Chain A
Amino acid sequence: MDATTNTQDSTTDAIAVEVDHVSKIFRGEQEVRALDDVSVGIRKNEFFTLLGPSGCGKTTLLRLIAGFEPPTMGAIRLGGRDISRLPPNQRPVNTVFQNYALFPHMSVAQNIAFGLEMLGKPKAEVQKTVDEMLRLVRMEELKNRRTGEISGGQQQRVALARALAPHPEVLLLDEPLSALDLKLRKDMQIELKRLQSETGITFIFVTHDQEEALTMSDRIAVMSAGKILQVGPPRDIYERPAERFVANFIGESNFLDATLAGGKATLAAGGTFDVHVPEGVRDGKVSVLVRPEHATVHAGEAGEREIAGTVENVVYSGEATVVHLRLATGEAMKARLSNAPQGGEAAPETGSAAAVTIAPGAVTVLRD
């Protein structure tokens, strides 16, 4: 897709990292194209997330920006300067590694001081910045501990402090929360957002967790098979996915057949909706997306503007109930109903006839 369509809302923002037609091919026993002509501009002070399943190339792109691998083709520019051929120690970019990679033979404070010492900063300045960083990640009390003697969450904070201490132009985070348990992960998500806004550093965050991406990011790039499929703010990515892969990867989806004509889509199952049409999609047969929470169901015959179906399964999951339906066209559809307090309207029963209502604006045309 054309990345410029997603950036036109703020073209005035300065670009921190520009990935320009980058390909990465690993030549081993067989050739692997880890990145395939990827172009994207990451803005200054942005929390930017690379989201995709394992093997999609997100970590490779991060390693290329850090300098651990050279691109096979294309260029990576930092503040307009081509850094594609610079070794990692000459790039003003720091990384938080997936396994933290803390130096086990050094204390917490020595780990944080390492980058500053390598930059040749005077002792007093190193000391001052280390103290600042310890305060920033709330680790002052543990500064003399060995890194093996602190918990996973604390190691995570030290890794962050160590990477932030030299005040890099860009901070790269390679699935830094994946080793933490759910509760700690939620806390660290908030912590990371706080650190990003307090330091004003551009964050490039790699994850395969869609919820993490949606809650934390200013913008998300969804990747698959070495390509960036879509770039945009979380809301756009969730509500206006351009392709079936993006829709499927993020959230729950219903894919329905429809006919597109003059900005309106008529579902095969019935009903005509005003739709947003992505670039390059022409009138005719299309595939559309309806999120399960944008559909409601009630028992009984379908009235006007409603779609008739049969209830196949009802799944209770605490805050919601998901109703699985079979439409007259044979298509499967799910509707997600928020649960009312006890005694409220019950979901229709399995095997009964039901009517589906789709909220206006909830139908999204997909490109594939």
Chain B
Amino acid sequence: MADRPVKQPKGYSVRTLPGFAVLALFTFFALYAPITILVAYSFNAGTSLAIWEGFSLRWYYQAAANEAVQDAAIRSLYLAFSAATIATIAATMAALATTRTRHFPGKTMIYALINQPLMVPEIVTAVALLIVFAAVKVWTGHTSMIYLIAAHTAFCVPFAYLPIRARLETMDTSLEAAAQDLYASPWMTFRRVTLPLMWPGIVAGLMLAFVISLDDVVITEFVKSAGQDTLPTYMLGQLRRVVTPEVNAISTVILVAGAILVTLFFRLTSRRG
């Protein structure tokens, strides 16, 4: 990614030790070879995932023309946008509350609670949400996208929180003191100094949350009602039937979109404040 390599101490290098180069090559191969093959076969003219029959964009055209794909793509984007936005607002407020307040009892505990979802296995969250939402759906008879948005928002919050908090922690608090000293009210201090300076962190948090939501299968599969397929759950459904390079084409598009967002994320978070 766009992340810069860590500066190495001069005079000592593990290059001379045996095994490092071989292991590195093997790891990169294991990580990127399957993805490379997936991308390559998305351009296959034939219907096989294993036999190359020439270059073609037919699967891209077919996926774009497929109403089920269009429907799932729009739903995925709508869901990711809604969940990421709500999660980022919540995460921004949480980050401010955990970095721009005097120490209060339970602050460490709150920090742990915000990050806990990162440590709970996704399948556990999925089952828990399934049980709760099933009860709510029976009780209210309501089956809109609200459940998916709520579920995605919940697991996106810690992802949005981390870069925003990191940004606030590296920010010099004497800047806010200076603003107050220069007659800015608490609100003006936030609007003119804190917010503009934390903005790259907020955008980074939003993009990370967006990618995480776009990518989710497990929780979506458990929470969605009938006819609420997102791109990943649509693809999962396709795998049970006949697999064509159309799945490769969709995957490639998601891959490229994700790569662009994550690259932007790293550029924003590595830029000096």
Contacts and interface: CB of A to CB of B under 8 A. Distances in A.
A94 B180 contact: no
Interface in B181-199: 181-185, 188-189, 192-193, 196-197
B108 interface: no
A101 B172 contact: yes
A27 to B, nearest CB: 11
Given A103-B193, A105-B197, A89 B177 contact: no
State the majority secondary structure of interface residues on B. helix
A115 B182 contact: yes
A115 B183 contact: yes
A97 B172 CA distance: 12
A114 B184 CA distance: 9
Contacts of B177: 68, 88, 95, 97, 101
B174 interface: yes
Contacts of B180: 67-68, 87-89
Contacts of B179: 103, 114, 118
Interface string B164-185: 0000000010110111111111
Interface string A214-240: 000000000000000000000000000
Nearest to B177: A68
B218 to A, nearest CB: 40
With most chain A CB atoms within 10 A of its CB, the pick from B184, B185, B188 is B184
Contacts of A89: 180-185, 189
B197 A94 contact: no
A86 B174 CA distance: 19
B273 interface: yes
A97 B174 contact: yes
A119 interface: yes
A99 interface: yes
A105 B175 CA distance: 11
Interface in B204-258: none
A111 to B, nearest CB: 9
A166 B178 CA distance: 13
B160 to A, nearest CB: 22
A236 B174 CA distance: 36
Interface string A63-106: 00011100000000000000000011110011101010111110
A104 B179 CA distance: 12
Contact of A166 (B183, B189, B192, B273): B183
Contacts of B174: 97, 99, 101
Nearest to B176: A101
Contacts of A87: 180
B183 A99 contact: no
Contacts of A114: 179, 182, 184, 192
Nearest to A110: B192
A128 B254 CA distance: 54
B181 A66 contact: yes
A179 to B, nearest CB: 13
Interface of A: 66-68, 87-90, 93-95, 97, 99, 101-105, 114-115, 118-119, 162-163, 166
Given A115-B182, A162-B182, 19 more contacts: A68-B177, A89-B180, A89-B185, A90-B183, A93-B181, A94-B181, A97-B174, A97-B178, A99-B172, A101-B174, A101-B177, A101-B178, A103-B178, A103-B179, A105-B197, A114-B182, A114-B192, A118-B182, A118-B185
In the A-B complex, list the 6 residue pairs whose CB atoms are closest, starting with the nearest.
A115-B182, A118-B183, A101-B178, A101-B174, A88-B180, A118-B184
24 contacts: A68-B180, A68-B181, A87-B180, A88-B177, A89-B181, A89-B185, A90-B183, A93-B181, A95-B178, A97-B174, A101-B174, A101-B175, A103-B175, A104-B175, A105-B196, A105-B197, A114-B179, A114-B182, A114-B192, A115-B182, A115-B183, A118-B184, A118-B188, A119-B183
